[in-house]
Amino acid sequence: MLRTLIVDDERLARQAMRRLLAAHPSVEIVGEAETLDEAIAAIERTDPQLVFLDIELGSRGDGFDLLARLARPPLIVFVTAYAEYAVDAFAVSAVDYLLKPVEPERLAETLARVEQHMIRVLASSGQTVQGMIALRTPKQIVLAAPSEIAALRADGDFTHVYVADQPAVMILRTLGHFESLLPSPPFLRLGRSLIINRDRLRKIEAPSRAGARIVLQGITGPLELGRAATARLRELVSPDEI
């Protein structure tokens, strides 16, 4: 999900953008703001990946002032009724510049541009950017937020990454590479070959100390754990869960 904030000093404009974004299930609207100060507070509180930003935000400052006050601004798409600010907008590395009233087709182009921008940055850096991880296979690049990853299993120099409600993807990266990228907690390494997302753990079946089965939200069927992984799991979760 693309965590998105709407910043506009007009309530009707914010409502219109909400309606347009509702047609894109990959977008999660985490909040909205009316003024410069509200926008700064909302960005600090919600940590959005993308902001749809109006330029005129009242008497206390504009969209450019907002960017100047942020040490690490999220991706920005300006949304305004004034075409004359476009050059200045791209000078501050805006991903796109939309003129009001925004057309649905133009918004779809913008979201595709945002996704491609994130893919390029992630693929070139191999790191997390704006809270996303790029899972690169020979045929595609899958963007995933850490919260969407349920588990990772090592297979030699490859790693099977289980993104919730999607087929697992095989990535030419070691499990250690992903361990360095993913936050712990909630990600727990259960031995040499498995990392799980603790937040997605729904059930543990451990009929003996020799092994266990765990059910993770977003994965079809349980994952089998060996003796070492089961012992590690016992160390990391509360006793009443096993």
Can you state the angle between helices 104-125 and 11-21, rounded to 10 degrees? 70
pLDDT at position 52 is 97
Q: What's the angle, vertex CA 102, arms to CA 99 and CA 106, rounded to 5?
A: 95
> Given 3-state DSSP classes, what are the helix, strand and coil percentages for the chain, each rounded to the nearest 5?
35, 35, 30
Q: Does domain 133-241 have CATH number 1.10.3720.10?
A: no
pLDDT digits (tens, 9 = 90+) for 165-196: 888 889 888 999 889 888 888 999 998 899 99
Interior angle at CA 218, CA 188 and CA 175, nearest 5:
35
Q: Is the dihedral of CA 135, 212, 180, 72 positive or negative?
A: positive
Max mean pLDDT range (15-24, 52-61, 206-215) = 15-24
Residue ranges per domain, the chain? 2-124, 133-241
**Closest C-alpha among 157, 202, 173, 201 to residue 190:** 201
* Residue pLDDT, tens place only, 43-79: 999 989 999 999 988 777 888 999 999 888 899 999 9
Contact between 114 and 96 (Cβ < 8 Å):
yes
The architecture (CATH level 2) of 2-124 comes to 3-Layer(aba) Sandwich (3.40)
Q: If we measure between CA atoms, which residue out of 12, 68, 80 comes closest to residue 36?
A: 68
Buried/exposed 24-59: b ≥16 CB within 10 Å, e otherwise: eeebbbbbbbbbbebbbebbeebebbbbbbbbebee
Looking at the whole model, is its pTM more than 0.85? no
Region of residue 9 (left: phi > 0; alpha: psi -120 to 50; beta: else): alpha
